Structure 1
Amino acid sequence: MLNALQVFTTVIVGLMVGVEFSVAFVINPILNALPDDSSQRGRSHGGRMLGAVMPVWYITSLALVAVWAIAGRDHHGTGLVVTAGALLILSVIMSILLLVPINNQGKTWTPDTRPDDWKKQMNRWDRFHYVRVVIIIAAFVLLVAALA
């Protein structure tokens, strides 16, 4: 049973990492290359769509890692799992304090209502997101190492 939990948790966290990596290095660069109205509309739509899904995914991932750490406390690799959980907690805190406030504004913008500095705000979100991606990649690597 523990093995199934470990694999399931690693897959869920890995998929989350893949989505966030894709946002950082594929989707946003594509949107940034579009004309301003299209770029801003795409980012607003992405903010609404992923803003609804990702909090559930982050919390679910964190909960699964916590269950793994507790259930496997006497097994090899538990320290790695606990460290991965701490990194996921950091990513959630970072999201709540830094990324969500920017996203909550950006997802409501239209070409007529966006502020003059909207690109600056999106670039700020991107920088925070790059850091978050590094953190969750590190958490994923630790989970994979705990499986080995």
Structure 2
Amino acid sequence: MLTTLAVFTTVLVGLMVGVEFSVAFVINRILDALPEDSGQLGRAHGGRMLGAVMPVWYITSLTLVTVWAITGHHHHGTTLVITAGALLLLSVIMSILLLVPINNQSKTWTPDNRPADWKQQMNRWDRLHHVRVAVIVTAFALLATALT
């Protein structure tokens, strides 16, 4: 049972990392290269879509890692799982305090109502998101290592 939980949790976190990595290094670059207002409209749509899904994914991942750490507390790799859980908690805190406020504004923007500094706000979101990606990649690596 513990092995199934560990594998499922690691896969779930790995998929989340893949989505967030893709947003950071592929999708946003594609959107930024689109002509005229297409990129900003695409980012707003992505903010609405992923803004609805990712909180559930982050909290579910953190919950499963916590359950893994508690149920496997006598097993090899528990320190790695606890550290990964702390990093996932950090990513949730970063999201709530830093990224979500920007996302909540930007997902409502259109070319007619966006603020003058919208590009600077998107650049700030991107920088913060890159840090969050590094945090969750590290958490994923620790979980994968704990499986071995």
Alignment RMSD: 0.5
Say if 2:9 is the partner of 1:9. Answer: yes
- Structure 1: gaps of 5 or more residues: none
- What is the match of residue 44 of structure 1? 44
- Structure 2: gaps of 5 or more residues: none
- What is the match of residue 82 of structure 1? 82
Return the alpha-carbon distance in structure 2 between the equivalents of residues 36 and 97 of structure 1: 31
What secondary structure, in the 3-state scheme, does the structure 2 residue paired with 1:114 have? Answer: coil
TM-score, normalised relative to structure 1: 0.99
Matches within 5 A, 1:96-107: 96-107=96-107
**Residue 7 of structure 1, CA deviation:** 0.3
For 2:59, give the aligned amino acid. I
Q: State the Cα deviation string for residues 39-75 of structure 1 (Å, max 9, x = none).
A: 1100000000000000000000000000000010000
Length, aligned pairs only = 148
TM-score, normalised relative to structure 2: 0.99
Return the alpha-carbon distance in structure 2 between the equivalents of residues 29 and 122 of structure 1: 12
Where do 4+ consecutive residues of structure 1 move more than 4 Å?
A: none
Say if 2:105 is the partner of 1:108. Answer: no
Return the alpha-carbon distance in structure 1 between the equivalents of residues 36 and 127 of structure 2: 19
Return the alpha-carbon distance in structure 1 between the equivalents of residues 18 and 77 of structure 2: 23
Return the alpha-carbon distance in structure 1 between the equivalents of residues 111 and 51 of structure 2: 20
- What is the match of residue 53 of structure 2? 53
